[in-house]
Amino acid sequence: MTGTNQVKTLLLLGALTALVLILGQALGGKSGLLIAIVFAGGMNFFSYWFSDKIVLRTYNAQEITEADSPELYGIVRELAQRGQIPMPRVYIIPEETPNAFATGRNPQNAAVACTVGLMQMLDRRELAGVIGHELGHVMNRDTLIMTVAASLAGALGYLAQFAMFFGGRDEDDRPNPIALIVGMLVAMIAAPLVQMAISRSREFIADEKGARLTGDPLALASALRKIEGLSKQIRIHSGSPETAHLFIINPFSAGGIASLFSTHPATEDRVARLEALARQGL
């Protein structure tokens, strides 16, 4: 299962990259293609070095020491040692809704952030399950993958807006109405769907990795149920939906048709997989 999802992620990242190049070429032929490559590369470079700082600042996250929160810090340290990765920086987000995310370009520069609500509403086993999931993302370098996906989707969004407002040019610098159609389709459908598919596949992998790291898949299953229910009652006040894929449960999720475009798999599907791991004796 894990190997299949890894291949799927690479194919989907390739699809996002191809969409950037296709739209760039539709906008301006060879010169537009070159601009798209440079634009996507620049966004990825910036995201690689600065995305973690930006997202932590967006949520007003405050770095803590062991003296500030011995239990949380101790759980992160214990699981990091089990996973044989460097100790991540630990942050607390001043939000009452229960949630958490990991960020950083690699395990050497990783950070784990938890909301105040998460620490108040989960017991120690469940909190460890959530931290295990987030460290699973770090160990799998998902934080970098998701940053690249977000950057490529962002590049597509900018290019699509340009196409919708200004149209495109062909190789002979003639108006190209196809660019307008492509731009609209990309902006509304293609990029969000590909980004969603990447995020969903990474969540399943991190769930399994975290469950194996803690040796307690049912604790993570219980935590996911709690976070899912409480997130609907206690809304997050900071951040933006563009960062939803970072969290263990989408804090900006909506019901109805909008749920079909969620960046996360259905919680019941995640719980079912975790329960299957428990039955296998993990």
d(CA 155, CA 268): 33
- Contact status, residue 179 vs residue 27, Cβ threshold 8 Å: yes
Structure tokens at 17: 């990259």
- Contact status, residue 249 vs residue 264, Cβ threshold 8 Å: yes
d(CA 26, CA 68): 54
Long-range own/partner contacts, residues 13-16 (CB < 8 A, 24 or more apart) = 13/145, 13/148, 13/149, 13/152, 13/198, 15/194, 16/149, 16/152, 16/153, 16/156, 16/191, 16/194, 16/195, 16/198
Is 134 among the residues known to form the active site?
yes
- Contact status, residue 135 vs residue 112, Cβ threshold 8 Å: yes
> Choosing from 66, 71, 126, 134, which is the catalytic residue?
134
- CA distances to 19, 101, 187 from 32, rounded to whole Å, are 13, 36, 17
Structure tokens at 150: 């977000």
Helices H, strands E: what count in the chain? 9, 6
Q: Residue 93: enclosing H or E segment and its boundaries? A: strand 89-93
Chain-centre distance of CA 163, in angstroms? 27
Write out the catalytic residue numbers.
Answer: 134
